[in-house]
Amino acid sequence: MNSKIKGRKIIICISGLAGSGKSTLARRIARHYGLKFYSGGDALKAVASEMGYSVSERGWWETEDGLRFIEERLRNLDIDKKIDEKMMEWAREGDVVLDSWTMPWLLKEGFKIWLDASEEVRAARIAKRDKISFEEALKRMKEREARTKEIYRRLYGFKLGEDFRPFHVILDVNNLNEDEAFETLRLIIDRWILKEKDKSSLEAPFSGQI
């Protein structure tokens, strides 16, 4: 573990809609600080694989198979509930970075970051990643997000991508590449978490946007 955070119970939640870079950046942050990394999306894909879905590493959620699994989750909300319970267990261990859509709302502890990017920017990134047209990426992305938002509305009552109350930082990544976004997050974490003496200041969300 990074010597700067040894002995400290660190919980970092990184969230953002598809194409915002949350999974990639959460992994890099975990690796940089020597923290454990847990992904709600990876946990759900593991369940999908156990249920017989053919799961690929990247871009799977926007495929027909991925969208069918989301429909199955809508019919059986216990799938997401069990995953979230496991994520909560991992969070309580501390020294973790969580890539999750639900943990910012469900966890009382932790430092919570939302990565904000427009539909156009996110669709363009997905199109490049999955080697599909922008129009197809935008269509698949919107379908996935509409269904995913409905799952969390039914389960927990929050509006994904619309309700930002749990977050301490909202980082605009529209004009940042991966390295720039990582360096920005690293500076935020260094200053606001690792050197933060007054922990009570983490109880209220950040009032502005970066």
Q: Per-residue confidence at 206, pLDDT binned at 50, 70, 90?
A: very low
Among 163, 160, 153, which residue's Cα sits nearest to residue 77?
Answer: 153
pLDDT tens figures, 111-126: 999 999 999 999 999 9
Q: How many angstroms separate the CA atoms of 162 and 13, rounded?
A: 17
Under a CB-based contact definition with an 8 Å cutoff, are residues 43 and 91 in contact? no
Higher pLDDT, 155 or 8: 155
Q: Which of 5-19, 141-155, 168-182, 192-206 has the lowest mean pLDDT?
A: 192-206
Q: How many angstroms separate the CA atoms of 108 and 15, rounded?
A: 15
Under a CB-based contact definition with an 8 Å cutoff, are residues 12 and 111 in contact? yes
Work out the number of other CB atoms within 10 angstroms of the CB of residue 77.
14
The domain defined by 11-203 carries CATH number 2.40.30.10:
no
Under a CB-based contact definition with an 8 Å cutoff, are residues 87 and 38 in contact? yes
For the residues 17-45, what does the mean pLDDT come to?
94
Higher pLDDT, 194 or 104: 104
Q: How many angstroms separate the CA atoms of 105 and 191, rounded?
A: 23
For the record, the structure tokens of 190 come out as: 């260094």
Among 30, 16, 202, which residue's Cα sits nearest to residue 103?
Answer: 16
Q: Amino acid identity, residue 139?
A: K
pLDDT tens figures, 64-93: 888 889 999 999 999 999 999 999 999 999
Domain assignments of the chain as residue spans, ordered by start? 11-203
Write down the H helix ranges in 55-177: 64-75, 78-93, 103-106, 119-130, 134-156
Among 76, 54, 88, 67, which residue's Cα sits nearest to residue 18?
Answer: 67
Q: How many CA atoms lie within 13 A of 83 on its CB side?
A: 25
60 backbone dihedrals φ, ψ, rounded to 5°: -65, -35
